[in-house]
Structure 1
Amino acid sequence: MPNSSKIPEKWRGEQKAAKAVQVAFDVGFEVQTVIRKEALDCMLSPSDRVRQILGLNVTSKPKRPRLSISLTADDFAALGEAYDIDVNNRVAIKQKAAENLIHYVESNREM
């Protein structure tokens, strides 16, 4: 371990965080589903909800509600074609995809 006195003060917190160990729980589909739904209802990440349930501190800031996916060049090409948008105009494709998601939810709401 490097001498902590040689580590800049602003990085010492990161050194402590680097000592954390990621733990995965094999708890089954139903337990995972319940915890993920609770996390969503509480505007938390599933990890933060698990920390709450276990009585641990939750230090992360509230999450900005957004959805994210990874898109390949082929995905952009498919969406560009579907939306009749130039494949190189990724901002317009992203905006149209967001509109598509909003429309999906609005048209599928239970009355």
Structure 2
Amino acid sequence: MNIKKDTWQKQERAVRATQLAFDLSSEVQKHIKKQAIDDEVTPSDMIRRILGLEVKSKKTRQRLSFNLSDEELNQLGVQFGIVEPDEARKKRLIKQQVADLLIQFTEQNKQT
């Protein structure tokens, strides 16, 4: 019974937390986000560090993500020459091709 009470109290504290959002210049936002990436933390944790607040989370592995419509997914399938009846496999193959393309893009831009 005590475990349930502790859990409930933690949830209550989380609900009471206040979120602050800032409308800062793009230069300030970029700098904070870049520093967060370099330090392998979230931008939220970077702000906590700047403010001298406790950062409880561990280093994060930054992920890139974006959304595709079914039409765009099919377009990429054609672009990459992927003909696959299994939709799940098709998505995995397209994902791998996109990852390879992003790596290639990064390598080319490092040299310039």
TM-score range, shorter chain: 0.7 to 0.9
- Distance (Å, rounded) in 2 between the aligned partners of 1:78 and 1:22: 39
- Over aligned residues, Cα RMSD in angstroms? 2.0
Q: In the alignment, what sits opposite 1:37?
A: 34
Tell me which protein shows more helix as a share of its residues. Answer: 2
Helix, strand or coil at the partner of 1:63: coil
Q: Which has the higher contact order (CA 8 A, sep 6+)?
A: 2
Q: How many residues align?
A: 106
Q: In the alignment, what sits opposite 2:18?
A: 21
Give the % identical residues: 39
Q: In the alignment, what sits opposite 2:101?
A: 100
Change beyond 3 A, Cα 1:20–1:104: same
Q: In the alignment, what sits opposite 2:52?
A: 55
Change beyond 3 A, Cα 1:108–1:30: closer
- Distance (Å, rounded) in 2 between the aligned partners of 1:58 and 1:67: 23
The amino acid that maps onto 1:66 is: R
Q: Which runs of 4+ in 1 moved over 3 A?
A: 7-12
- Deviation of 1:80 after TM superposition, in Å, equals 0.9
Any gaps of 5 or more consecutive residues in structure 1?
none
Q: 1:77 aligns with which of 74, 88, 106?
A: 74
Any gaps of 5 or more consecutive residues in structure 2?
none
Task: Tell me the TM-score normalised to structure 1 length.
Answer: 0.81
Task: Tell me the TM-score normalised to structure 2 length.
Answer: 0.80
- Deviation of 1:14 after TM superposition, in Å, equals 2.8
